[in-house]
Amino acid sequence: MKKKYRIGWLPGDGVGIEVLEAAKIVLEKLNFDAEYVNGDIGWEFWCNEGDALPQRTLDLLSNVDAAMFGAITSKPVKLAEKELTPSLQGKGLIYRSPIVRMRQQFDLYICHRPCKSYPGNSLNFKENIDLVVFRENTEDLYAGVEFSPVPDELKATLSRLSKPFKVFETLGNNDFAVSCKVNTRKGSERIVRAAFEFARKHGRKKVTVVHKANVVRAADGLFLDVAREVGAAYPDIQFDEANVDAIMMWLLKNPFNYDVLVAPNLYGDIVSDLCAQLVGGLGFGCSGNIGDKLGVFEPTHGSAPKYAGQYKVNPIATILSAKQMLDWLGETDLGRKVEGATAAVIKEGKVKTYDMGGANTTLEMGQAIADKI
């Protein structure tokens, strides 16, 4: 019989494989009517095929309701080149993060990162933290508009446009590098709107817009202007704004002053790591990359190559990402069950992975959560 949902299953490499295995134990315990379709993604595909996210995986993602992704190893461009199979070396292949490509290719413009301190987790910075980060996921400094060496054409344009500063004329093309921060009105508007819609739907009180518009006047200035316009349409929700540097300090000083946060891509990346640490660190940071047609759910952490194969990392971040997937698919009862079971295991404190001060394995944690369902 045909299943209701088709779920792309992309373990990647390193501990990505292990945490997804644990999430599967939990999903299989639910009456979740889904078939799981495996997709190739990860370091080995870069080394052997010159593409960590092969076309067949993109095709697969075009044909699923949602996907779970584990993690992948990334290396700086020059090191990545050296690890290519010899026949692919010297061909000018450039390594780019597959997750960033996936976000752009499928226009997964929302990065939704809830950070909640579950009672009894000894890693909580404080109890009762319940923050939600909305990170723009396709543009900003991740737009991929970068130059090193800087082409003559661009150098000439920059020299002409910034005449009074006379900075570029004296530099050789290899003496500087350019990474463009590109924020669009459309991109800014849809992420801020997503944050406000979420706040309204979930009875949240306040949305804080994170920026650095006093310095990055063009790109962040646009983001902030658009955010103010969007915020004005939600008089029921408090509009708040903060500089990215200051908010890192204030979040540590008093996380209870914040509720929903919305930020351009790079600040959102940074703020969401801080928020994850407030609620227990990498083992608890879950995330959803969401567009109008597809959602790809993944733990915020990376592939942790030094732990690969040891089945010791905490799968809770991935299991909570699976909960987000269920919610996004409209299976909110199932999502609630997964969160409830996870919270119960944390509170009971009997099964703990190494980060929580215990010695249980990744799969034992998955099984313990599944047993509470």
Binding site for ligand IPM (CB under 6 A): 74, 97, 99-100, 269, 300, 302
Distance CA 11, CA 2 (A): 24
CB of 373 to ligand IPM, least distance (A): 28
CB of 131 to ligand IPM, least distance (A): 16
CB of 303 to Mg ion, least distance (A): 13
Residue (154 or 282) nearer to Mg ion, CB: 282
DSSP 183-229: --HHHHHHHHHHHHHHHHHTT--EEEEEE-TTTSTTHHHHHHHHHHH
Which residue in the block uniquely carries the two structure tokens 């732990």? 307
The residue sitting closest to ligand IPM, measured at its beta carbon, is 97
Q: 149 preceded by cis ω (within 30°)?
A: yes
Q: Which does 358 bind (CB under 5 to 8 A by kind): Mg ion, ligand IPM, none?
A: none
Q: Is 136 in the site for Mg ion (CB under 5 A)?
A: no
**DSSP one-letter code for 138:** S
CB of 231 to ligand IPM, least distance (A): 25
Residue (274 or 344) nearer to Mg ion, CB: 274
Q: Which does 97 bind (CB under 5 to 8 A by kind): Mg ion, ligand IPM, none?
A: ligand IPM
CB of 70 to ligand IPM, least distance (A): 12
* 168, burial (CB in 10 Å: exposed 0-12, middle 13-18, buried 19+): buried
Alpha helices in the chain (DSSP H): 15-29, 43-49, 55-61, 77-82, 98-105, 152-161, 185-201, 219-232, 244-253, 265-278, 316-328, 332-348, 362-371
Residue (140 or 259) nearer to ligand IPM, CB: 140
Q: How many residues bind Mg ion (CB under 5 A)?
A: 1
The residue sitting closest to Mg ion, measured at its beta carbon, is 269
| Amino acid code (one letter) for 183 | N
Strand partners, 7: 36, 66
CB of 300 to Mg ion, least distance (A): 6
Q: How far is CA 308 from the centre of its chain?
A: 21
Among 18, 81, 139, 269, binds Mg ion (CB under 5 A): 269
CB of 41 to ligand IPM, least distance (A): 12
* 108, burial (CB in 10 Å: exposed 0-12, middle 13-18, buried 19+): buried
Q: Which stretch binds Mg ion (CB under 5 A): 24-32, 149-157, 248-256, 263-271?
A: 263-271
Residue (93 or 274) nearer to Mg ion, CB: 274
Q: Which does 99 bind (CB under 5 to 8 A by kind): ligand IPM, Mg ion, none?
A: ligand IPM
Q: Which does 100 bind (CB under 5 to 8 A by kind): ligand IPM, Mg ion, none?
A: ligand IPM
Q: Which stretch binds Mg ion (CB under 5 A): 228-236, 248-256, 261-269, 317-325?
A: 261-269
Tally of CB atoms within 10 A around 271:
26
Residue (36 or 69) nearer to ligand IPM, CB: 69
Strand partners, 211: 243
Q: Which does 282 bind (CB under 5 to 8 A by kind): Mg ion, ligand IPM, none?
A: none
Count of residues making up the chain: 373
CB of 45 to ligand IPM, least distance (A): 16
Strand partners, 140: 182
Binding residues for Mg ion, rule: CB under 5 A, are: 269
